[in-house]
Structure 1
Amino acid sequence: MKQKNSLSTKRRLAQILAILRKHHLAKGIDPVKFRMILEDLGPTFVKIGQIMASRQDMFSQRYCRELVKLRDNVASMSIETVKSVIKNEYHQKLSDVFLEFDEIPLGSASIAQVHKATLKDGRHIVVKVQRPDIYEMMERDISLIRKAVKILKLNDVLGSVVDLNIVLDEFWHTAKEEMDFLNEAHYARKFAYLHQDIQYIEAPLIIDEYSTSKVLVMEYIDGFEIDDRIHLMEAGYDLREIAAKLAENYIKQIVDDGFFHADPHPGNLRVRDGKIVWIDFGMMGILNRADKDLMKDAVLAIGQNDTQKLVDVILTLGEHDNRIDYALFYDNIETFMKHYVTVDLTDINLGDVVQEIFVIAHKHRISMPKGVSMLARGLVTIESTVMLIDPHISIIEIAANHVANHLSCHLDYQKELTNAIKNLYSASQNMLHIPAQLSDVMRMIMKGRLKVNLDMMESSVPMNAINHMVNKLVVGIVSAGLLMASSLLCTTQMTPKVFGIPALGFIGYMTAVGLGIWLLLTVLKERKQKK
């Protein structure tokens, strides 16, 4: 068995090398060629590319935009393969479990494919069937990539831009979660529980007794695709209402629940019986309480044009090993904020805002944690989905209103407030934030992420002048030390002697005098040059 796996690995390595030669990798690479290589390399590499596309804080914007085009266009499994997987999981033949089973899949992706079916009791369902040996195949590919990174020393080349091991670790963690369908079942139930009080949001019911780690069975959702504008309007739906409710719900998932759908494209959304139904919970983003609060602060910072608040949020959230040029980073964020200060919230494209923030973070080598990078991708995707339904809806305006209403039930943020009340509120908010800020500082210290940045670029004293001053100070201290030491030596009867003085003390005296004269001449020379 071990030999078989070894041969399989060798064949896969040969296949990878052949694909790289086909694309003439030695002649250089560009975003389009890179995407095509990943598509040819197969499911593992497509998944890695999709993760890279969401990491604008790690990769250049050109590559991220191109990698967004990656899709899981994978050839479907044969019905014999599907029957084999179901038999292995249920220990029964497919016909013994289902009354009807549509052999043509509804969709086929790199990890699984979905079929419509009917249970023996007449319930209409969908069956998500995992590809056999997909775990072993992806594990083998990851192992090969890690070896290539080590042999080619790619991290030495790309270390200042990205740590490839971080990308591979994130991919493998996400892939393993996605390949255990019991995780998806748990996420679907949790999502339904968090939205049980919202009348216009639904999730498909999971059929637990038929669900395993490799086969997931859930309620079949009919209705309309959420971007099917024509049929929705014919059925009497208000497109603007659907778009507004979808956007409001997604913001609620982020800032209230900290548990959000990470892939909100139109294919994962339906409209049925006046409700928006979310489906496919394979990829869900999770934010802890501190990160949720920081997301609220980020939305308010953009809405209130508060540069300092946004800088604090990014530095608290971000992970960075190198020293940050705080002044330049602040200037970049301030320039970003000034670009939007005169723009009405309804005219701001959230995707552009997210992209710009991540580009700035990438420039300063600040990488975001997994949950935040998934959030960035989700926000860009949900905005494009909402725009397909109603292009006049502003997600950032909805987000700002949601956060403002959430944070203040009794405070009025309207322009009618007097400047005095605004200032009082601002001061009180700053005081209330002190414990939270101290908590953030302590958390950063515990994680080893706290960095103190001293900016001397605006100082009137150049760094070379400071160095020169320190050198003179050191010479003065050494000269004084030699003088005192020599004086002590002169009180002894140490031999040999020069002019009746111990020789060592005499040498110390002369060295101290020489250093003192040099220091005096240097000071006089500098004073003369200034005049």
Structure 2
Amino acid sequence: MPSARRSPRDSTPDVGNTRARYRRILRFAARHIVQTWWFELVLPRLGMAKVAARSREARLTRIAERFHVLAVDLGGLMIKVGQYLSSRLDVLPPEITRELAGLQDEVPPVPFDRVRRLAEAELGVELERAYAWFDETPLAAASLGQAHRAQLSAIDAADTGLEEAVVKVQRPGIETIVDVDLAALHRVAGWLSRVRFVSSHVDLPSLVEEFAATSLQEIDYLQEARNAERFAESFAGDPRVAAPEVVWERTTRRVLTLADVTAIKINDRDALVAAGIDPKAVAKQFAAVMFDQLFRDGFFHADPHPGNIFVTPVEQVTDAAGPAYRLTFIDFGMMGEVPDGLRRGLQQLMLAVAARDGTRLVEAIRGVGILLPSAETAELERAMAELFARFGGMGLAELQKVDQHELRSFAIEFGEVMRALPFQLPENFLLIIRAMSLTSGMCSSLDPDFNMWDAVEPYAAQLLRDERGNIVQALGHEALSFAGTLARLPKRLDALADRVEEGRLVANSPRIEQRMARLERTAGRIVSAVVFAGLFIGGILLRRDEPVWGGVLIAVSAIPLLHALLAGVFRRRGPR
């Protein structure tokens, strides 16, 4: 009987293993969806909201712990899902994101004989001919592939000018596993999208599609090689940043050969200090480089965790004391792009944050497209104003000195406000959130006093200067627009008067229609609750003298009870 869990030493997954994997993911999701539905929707409707609230934190923590175990056990894309969920501070409760934040992309390595077979099949030659030397012990093992040190052959070394290399080899069978995992995720997203509470807050099928596109790019090493070259071009001539050169002669869709650029890991404070490099200066430079990618280039590294960034000492060309260094990025499988419109929206967000202006920040969030037009933002504006008033300008070290009860209380309140709003995430916004979250964490580990507000302000100041520089042009456009409106106004007033006289003036208010629909549903549920109470109590009274009829009434009372509890939970399919 095939095992439900794929061992790292198995060959390419067979049909039995993939089906078992698919069913295991669905069973996990179904179990916890039903559990959450019961506690968060049914119990509150039965007047037991406090019971559900008291157990919420422990319950969510258990769910996250169980998913952590599942992800490590299954490997493959499930580890990526855990990392993805851990960055969803905007949607998921902190009990879940905190537990999944520790999920590392580390799995047992693939036996070398399987690595050899795949690499030789891809390259078309034996490893001994492709490389002068190939280390059988992996440099790093991850859920989608693993890396080995190697030396280029004499011919390739002469052509490229390189000698030391790192070769990434895809895990055998990973494409099948990714397909199975994505199929399961699509199924789960379909289930959840039928729940009104979920669908009104987030478009899960779209998020899964974005996650799927990113995951499929990660297992295409030709795409990663192109990303590496594009990234290097973005920073061409910039002494702060470097990227490994691609050895195209030894690169395929499942094998990637790069120049070996390993150096000091960016989070190795002791090694940085020993090399004469100030970790605080590294934090400042790293934040600046990440902001350049987001706000200047619109093409950014979306997975800047410590294993993907090295600090490379270089010889100083000036008389300044101490060695210079550059930040060397690797692993370009997960990259994000920021379209021009979104980049302008992010710039407005930055200006609002720098100005500590809650109202402007909410407008910028709406302008980026995160908040749906129907969102009532009064509570959010109040929460943002309170956020800036209480914690604005504080770095991580200062926040740690704040009373934890106060911080936790505000975090819970703020999270509830955010989760109550209807929103959607623009394309690639998830990757932006992930990149900024990792950047903030990395900088704080290098410099406990690091303050992201301070890192943002130089960019905000430049944007403000640009904004002021364009103010005359903007006023000119506004004047032309106003003049055009004045010129068209008489005709529009005449047309409006004609429609009023003829009785053709119609006013549409979608918000009123939505509220009327909600009132109708509420009234229907109240009627169902009354019918249930009548049938149930009548059945109890009849059971003494007429057991059969009493039992029938009690059984039938379940129908209006279900309607009273579940009406409105599931969306009707079809055109809206």
Same fold, TM-score > 0.5, yes or no = yes
1:299 to 347, 350, 361: 350
Paired AA for residue 288 in structure 1: P
Equivalent position of 1:494 in the other structure: none
**Whole-Å Cα distance in 1 between the matches of residues 354 and 218 of structure 2?**
36
Contact 1:361 1:367 in 2 (8 A): no
**Does structure 2 retain, via aligned residues, the 8 Å contact 1:127–1:216?**
yes
Percent identity between the aligned chains? Answer: 27
Match of 1:204 among 221, 238, 244: 244
1:425-482 Cα deviation digits (max 9, x unpaired):
99869848969x99xxxxxxxxxxxx99989xxxxxxx99xx9xxxxxxxxxxxxxxx
Q: Which residue is 1:396 aligned to?
A: 453
Q: What residue identity is the alignment partner of 1:89?
A: E
Distance in 2 between the 1:119 and 1:355 partners?
A: 55
1:10 and 2:14 are equivalent in the alignment = no
**Which residues of 2 match residues 77-476 of structure 1 at below 5 A?**
77-121=110-154, 123-147=163-187, 155=195, 158-272=198-312, 273=314, 274-319=325-370, 323-341=374-392, 360-408=417-465, 431=475
Instruction: Compute the displacement of 1:252 (Å).
Output: 1.1
Decide which moves more: 307-316 or 150-159. 150-159
Deviation at 1:244, TM superposition (A): 1.7
Deviation readout 1:326-358 (Å, 9 max, x if unpaired): 323332333333334575899579xx9999988
CA distance in 2, matches of 1:164, 1:255: 27
Q: Secondary structure at the match of 1:227?
A: coil
Distance 2:368 2:356 in 1: 19
Residues 301 and 24 of structure 1, relative CA distance in 2, 3 Å threshold: closer
Q: Give the Cα separation in 2 of the matches to 1:291 and 1:304.
A: 20
TM-score for the superposition, normalised by structure 2: 0.65
Q: 1:56 maps to what in 2?
A: 89
Letter of the 1:194 partner, please give it.
S
CA shift, 1:226, in A, is 1.7
User: 1:78 deviation in Å?
Assistant: 0.9
Question: Retained in 2: the 8 A contact 1:20–1:37?
Answer: no
Partner AA of 2:305 in structure 1: H
Q: Cα gap change, 1:401/1:151 in structure 2, threshold over 3 Å: closer, same or farther? A: closer
1:73 aligns with 2:73: no
1:6–1:34: structure 2 CA closer, same or farther, 3 Å change rule?
closer
Give the 3 Å change call, closer, same or farther, for CA 354–381 of structure 1 in structure 2.
farther
Is the contact made by 1:99 and 1:119 (CA closer than 8 Å) also made in structure 2? yes
In the comparison of the two structures, how many residue pairs are matched?
A: 427
| Change in CA separation of 1:364 and 1:373 when aligned onto 2, cut-off 3 Å | same
1:488 aligned partner: none
Which amino acid in structure 2 is aligned with residue 48 of structure 1? V
Question: Could you tell me how far apart the structure 2 residues matched to 1:401 and 1:54 are?
Answer: 26
Secondary structure of 1:408's match? helix
Q: How much does 1:212 deviate? A: 1.1
Q: Which amino acid aligns with 1:395?
A: M
Per-residue CA shift, 1:138-168, capped at 9, x if unaligned? 1123223434555798646743444442332
2:529 counterpart residue number: none
Contact 2:235-2:241 at 8 Å conserved across structures: yes
CA contact (8 A) 1:57 1:366 kept: no
CA pair 13-354 structure 1, distance change in 2 beyond 3 A: same
**Maintained 8 Å contact 1:46/1:72:** yes
Residue 241 (structure 1) shift: 2.3
C-alpha separation in 2, matches of 1:294 and 1:144: 34
Decide which moves more: 316-325 or 394-403. 316-325
Q: 1:174 to 1:92 in 2, by over 3 A?
A: same
Q: Higher Cα Rg: structure 1 or 2?
A: 1
Deviation at 1:383, TM superposition (A): 1.7
Structure 1 length-normalised TM: 0.70
- Residues 394 and 453, structure 2, Cα contact 8 Å, conserved in 1: no
Per the TM alignment, residue 222 of structure 1 is displaced from its structure 2 partner at its CA by: 3.1
- Residues 30 and 236 of structure 1: CA distance in aligned 2, closer, same or farther (over 3 Å): same
Spell out, residue by residue over 1:271-322, the C-alpha distance to the aligned partner (whole angstroms, 9 max, x if none). Answer: 2222211111111121011111111211111111222321121112234568
Query: Which whole-Å CA distance do the structure 1 matches of 2:135 and 2:214 have between them?
Result: 30
- 1:100-143 residue CA offsets vs partner (Å, 9 max, x unmatched): 11111111111110001001125100000011221122112322
Mapped to 1, the partners of 2:427 and 2:455 lie a distance apart of 25
- Give SS of 1:30's match: helix
Deviations 1:349-386 (Å, cap 9, x if unpaired)? 9xx99999887543313132242221122112112212
1:106, 1:116 within 8 Å by CA — same for their partners in 2?
yes
> Given that residues 58 and 367 in structure 1 are in contact (C-alpha distance below 8 angstroms), is that contact kept between their aligned partners in structure 2?
no
8 Å contact from structure 2 (residues 192, 198) kept in 1: no
CA distance in structure 1 between the partners assigned to 2:127 and 2:14 by the alignment: 30
After TM superposition, give the deviation of residue 231 of structure 1 in Å. Answer: 2.4
Return the letter of the residue paired with 1:54: S
Q: Quick check: 1:261–1:285 contact (8 Å CA) kept in 2?
A: yes
Moved more, 330-339 or 266-275: 330-339
Report the 3-state secondary structure (helix = DSSP H, G, I; strand = E; otherwise coil) of the residue aligned with 2:143.
Answer: coil
Which blocks of at least 5 consecutive residues in structure 2 are unaligned?
1-12, 37-58, 158-162, 315-324, 401-406, 483-507, 520-576
* Structure 1 unmatched ranges of 5 or more: 412-424, 439-450, 456-462, 468-531
Secondary structure of 1:237 counterpart? coil
Q: Tell me how far apart the structure 2 counterparts of residues 354 and 109 of structure 1 sit (CA, whole Å).
A: 34
Q: d(CA) in 2 for partners of 1:115 and 1:429?
A: 56
Is the Cα–Cα contact under 8 Å of residues 155 and 163 in structure 1 kept in the other structure? no
Deviation at 1:259, TM superposition (A): 1.3
- C-alpha distance in 1, partners of 2:178/2:229? 28
Aligned partners of 1:323 and 1:453 also within 8 Å: no
Q: Contact (CA 8 Å) 2:76, 2:174: kept in 1 or not?
A: no
1:226 to 1:320, Cα distance in 2 relative to 1, 3 A: closer
Secondary structure in structure 1 of the residue aligned to 2:428 = helix
